[in-house]
Amino acid sequence: MTSRTSAGVRRHGDGPLLRALSSIPALGYLLVLMVIPLGLVIAYAFLTSGRFGGVQGPVTFDNIARLFQPLYLEVLLSSVVNAGLATFFAFLIGFPAALAITRLSSTWQTVALIAVVLPFWTNFLIRTYAWILLLNREGILSDGLSLIGLGPIEVLYTREAVILGLTYAYIPLMVLPIYASLQRLDPVLLEAACNLGAGPWRRFRTILLPLTMPGIITGCLFVFIPSLGNFVIPELLGGGNSQMIGNLIRDQFLKSRDWPFGSALSLLVLALLVIIVMIQASAARRSRKWGA
Amino acid sequence: MATHRTRARRASVLGIAGAVGAVLLAACGGSSSGGDASPSPSLDPNADLSKQSIVVSNWDAYMDPDVALKFTDTTKANITVAKHATNEEIVGKLTAGGDPGIDVAFVSGQYAQALNEAGLLEPIDPRLVPNLANLYPESKNLAFDPGNTFSVPYAWGTTGICYREDLMASPPTSWNDLLNPAPEYEKKTLMLATQPWLNLPAAKALGFSANTTDEGELEQIKQQLLKTKPTLLGFDDVTFYSRLAAGEVVMAVAWDGWCNYAGDPNVKFVVPSEGADLWADTMVVLKSSKNKEAAMAYINFMIGDEMQSWMTNNILYKSPNKAVAEKAAAELGADYPNIAMTPADLAKGEGLIDLGPAAKIYQQIATEVQAS
């Protein structure tokens, strides 16, 4: 893929020296903010914790072995389930929303897109805190349901509240990539399918879904990855009833002063995400092949 | 007292600030080796303070905002104020190696103990802190530092149950009233998530030390907490007082001063019959300080009447300064009865000390209980 696109994009007259120079900022960025920190995390995972945090000798595999205790695997599993459900609900709401936006006039599309990203203008913690006020037993949701005889209900400090919070927090990251791929979709294809007698479900399944799949996968990753590592929402909306892997890692660094085990947990999450991104990359390759 | 106490006041919007403090902590730190503070190289009581300048790191909003002006007016020394969000953050900064550029730090007692064991603290020179004479004898005999050899208390208190008098048939008297609640109070209770206060109720109910490091005892504490967990609404270190005020919960494990923030006369505080802890937030002078006379003068200033009055009137924590505490008990005791606790009652609490390597076991218990 790289050879084809870069050959296509490259402008004539750019010497190899210029190209090498222009890649320095990116390489420096990768080295300082990615390679070195990652190397440190890997190294820390095999060391012993110091009294006030930090790391010291000797080298040990204990931290890696501890990862396989059922307690930590259960936390990881429940984090994956929470993040997966949040991604699923974000898709369920985000896809129709993106589709609806593409049907608007271009002025209204701009307005709708601003509305989608508008919540990002408010601090993430404050938006999450607002949910506490909505969801608690004396809150608007419970009171509202009480009025019609369905309440009061207990939502705050449950796993459902955490999933709701994650879905809410990251849904714009689902809508935007799907919207972008819907934009690129040639409406003629849908018209042709319609003229040839394909019903709405068939048009969705055979045209809309496959052709927007790259956007959907990107959106799913954008929601899943930050959800998996989130520790603010489980703490504020889960009330400690729904611990996620992010909380566990945070606690190793800021409460247990166990940087080595925190690093080992981070590597576990990283390994999981690498696998997921590899699956996504191979899926994207396949869908490009279909496109051609 | 919290490892991540942000000094949230009564307004619930400040609860957000608390949440920020609790959740978004800056990680820093390093490792350090042990070694006790060596004997004091004598400080000069007649040093010219106008030539000295110090940096003080404190929790946000934990002292008079005009402290710098007032301190310089009184002593002529220059002062810069820095902030930290948590004990862990400041301890990380102070132990990272090299000169942290901080002369005086506010830390909770057990953290002062650990810093001293790491050889980082300057012994307190009582000649330069004459206001020590105005403190309660009990506050000068705290478990982590009897005799104020390396730390001086700024505020102190205990932990208990904060409850809604009007929503309960009878007030709680035992930790068991919260740990094994009557059916009508199930899902209407909260506990603190931070160690050692997560363990504290179960430790005391079972008759163990608040600082226990015995594995068998810790196992029993864990079993009790696992049994309690399904009856809780959740764990909450930051907004429990507003949940009490809203009537969402009827009982919460709470630091005494924080119970005062509920701002509701029906919210009461009780120390259960099995006893609780005794915590203190202290001031320490770093050995790396180059202006130790001014640092001692600052500590002296902060335990003086003016600054202690500000603290107890605004933070609603108890003052170790006898005259100030007695005045506060008379003036604020009616609205906030726990302000009027006597030092004798307070000193019945077990002093918290640094847990050393057992801190990891405590955190493991917290993880298991919260993940269950």
Q: What is the pLDDT of residues B148-199, one digit of tens each?
A: 999 999 999 999 999 999 999 999 999 999 999 999 999 999 999 989 999 9
* Average pLDDT for B243-249: 90
Beta-carbon contacts below 8 Å between A and B: 117
pLDDT exceeds 60 at position B20? no
Stretch A217-243: mean pLDDT, rounded? 91
Q: For residue A146, is it within any domain? A: yes
**Residue A50: what pLDDT?**
83
Q: Among the residues of chain B, which ranges form H helices?
A: 13-23, 67-75, 87-95, 109-117, 176-179, 200-205, 215-228, 240-246, 256-259, 292-302, 305-314, 322-332, 343-346, 359-371
B18 vs A264, which has greater pLDDT? Answer: A264
d(CA B226, CA A103): 53
Rounded average pLDDT over B317-338: 94
Domain locations along chain B: 13-156+278-341, 159-275+353-371
Percent over 70 (pLDDT), chain A: 93
Rg of chain A (C-alpha set): 23
Q: Which of A56, A71, A239 sits opposite B31 (nearest CB)?
A: A56
Longest CA–CA span in chain A (Å) reads: 74
- Using CA atoms, how far apart are residues B158 and A207, in angstroms rounded to an integer? 66
State the best of B13, B16, B115, B372 to mutate against chain A, taking most chain A CBs within 10 Å: B16
Residue A129 to residue B233, Cβ atoms within 8 A = no
Model ipTM over 0.85? no
In a domain, A220, yes or no: yes
Beta carbons of A52 and B368 less than 8 Å apart: no
Residue range A13-27: mean pLDDT, rounded:
84
pLDDT tens digits for range A131-157: 988 888 777 888 888 888 877 777 888
Say what the pLDDT of residue A14 is. Answer: 66
How many domains does chain A fold into?
A: 1
Q: Is A58 within 8 Å of chain B by CB? A: no
CA dist A236 and B196 (Å) reads: 20
Q: How many CB atoms lie within 10 A of CB A227?
A: 28
Question: Which pLDDT score is estimated for A290?
Answer: 61
CA–CA gap between residue B235 and residue B253 (Å, rounded) = 9
In this model, does residue A212 exceed pLDDT 50? yes
> To the nearest whole angstrom, how far is the Cα of A171 from the nearest Cα of chain B?
22
Does the pLDDT of residue B18 top 70, yes or no? no
Which residues constitute the domain of residue A121? 24-291
* Residues of chain A contacting B29 with CB distance shorter than 8 Å: 52-54, 257, 259
Query: Which pair of tokens denotes residue A203?
Result: 């048009």
Report how far residue A176's alpha carbon sits from residue A97's, in angstroms, rounded to the nearest whole number: 10
Please spell the DSSP secondary structure of A217-257, one letter per residue.
HHHHHHHHHHHHH--HHHHHTTTTSS--HHHHHHHHHHTS-
The better pLDDT of the pair A59, B38 is held by: A59
Query: What is the model's pLDDT at position B285?
Result: 97
Nearest chain B CA: its distance from A178 CA (Å)? 31
Neighbours of A62 (CB within 10 A): 11
Is the bond leading into A58 cis (omega within 30 degrees of zero)? Answer: yes
pLDDT digits (tens, 9 = 90+) for A267-280: 999 999 999 989 88
Chain A residue with the nearest C-alpha to that of B91: A52
A171: CB partners within 8 A, 6+ apart: A90, A93, A94, A223
What is the pTM (predicted TM-score) of this model?
0.81
Selection from B163, B206, B141, B138 nearest residue B346 by Cα: B138
Per-residue 3-state assignment (H helix, E strand, C coil) for A160-213: HHHHHHHHHHHHHHHHHHHHHHHHHCCHHHHHHHHHCCCCHHHHHHHHHHHHHH
pLDDT at B61 > cutoff 50: yes
Is A8 inside any structural domain? Answer: no
Distance CA B159, CA B329 (A): 18
A contacts of B113 (beta carbons < 8 Å): none
What letter does residue B128 receive in the DSSP assignment? G
**Is residue A235 within 8 angstroms of chain B, CB to CB?**
yes
Q: Which comes out higher in pLDDT, residue B361 or A240?
A: B361
**Residue whose token pair is 């007016």:** B73
Radius of gyration of chain B from its Cα atoms, rounded to whole angstroms: 20
Report CB contact under 8 Å: A51, B366. Answer: no
The distance of A270 to chain B (nearest Cα, Å) reads 20
Tell me the average pLDDT across B142-148: 95
- Position of tokens 């959800």? A227
Residue in chain B nearest A241 by alpha carbon: B370
Q: How far apart are CA B185 and CA B167, in angstroms?
A: 10
Give yes or no for residue B231 having a pLDDT over 70: yes
| Better-scored residue on pLDDT, A225 or B9 | A225
CA distances, B10 to each of A133, A143, B223, B287 (Å): 16, 24, 35, 37
Length of chain A: 292
pLDDT at position A3 is: 45
Residue A79, domain CATH: 1.10.3720.10
Q: Which two tokens stand for residue A18?
A: 């210029």
Chain B contact present for A83, CB below 8 A: no
| Fold for the domain defined by B13-156+278-341 | D-Maltodextrin-Binding Protein; domain 2 (3.40.190)
Residue A31 resides in a domain: yes
A217 contacts A142 by C-beta, under 8 angstroms: no
Chain B: closest CA distance from residue A139 (Å): 9
Is A52 near chain B, with CB under 8 Å?
A: yes
The DSSP annotation for B129-182 comes to -GGGGGB-GGGGEETTEET-SS-EEEEEE-EEEEEEGGGSSS---STHHHHS--
Q: What is the mean pLDDT of residues A221-234?
A: 94
Q: Tell me phi and psi for residue B142, to 5 degrees.
A: -80, 150
Could A236 and B23 be called an inter-chain contact, meaning their C-beta atoms sit closer than 8 Å?
yes
CA pair distance A46, A120, nearest whole angstrom: 38
Residue with tokens 């909770």: B108
Q: Which residues of A touch B359 (CB under 8 A)?
A: 256-257
Residues A256, B236: C-beta atoms closer than 8 Å? no
Cβ–Cβ below 8 Å for B31 and A53: yes
A237 to chain B: nearest residue by CA? B234
**For the domain B159-275+353-371, what is the CATH code?**
3.40.190.10
- Chain B CA closest to residue A137: B248
Domains B13-156+278-341 and B159-275+353-371 belong to one CATH topology: yes
pLDDT band with cut points at 50, 70 and 90 for residue B352: very high
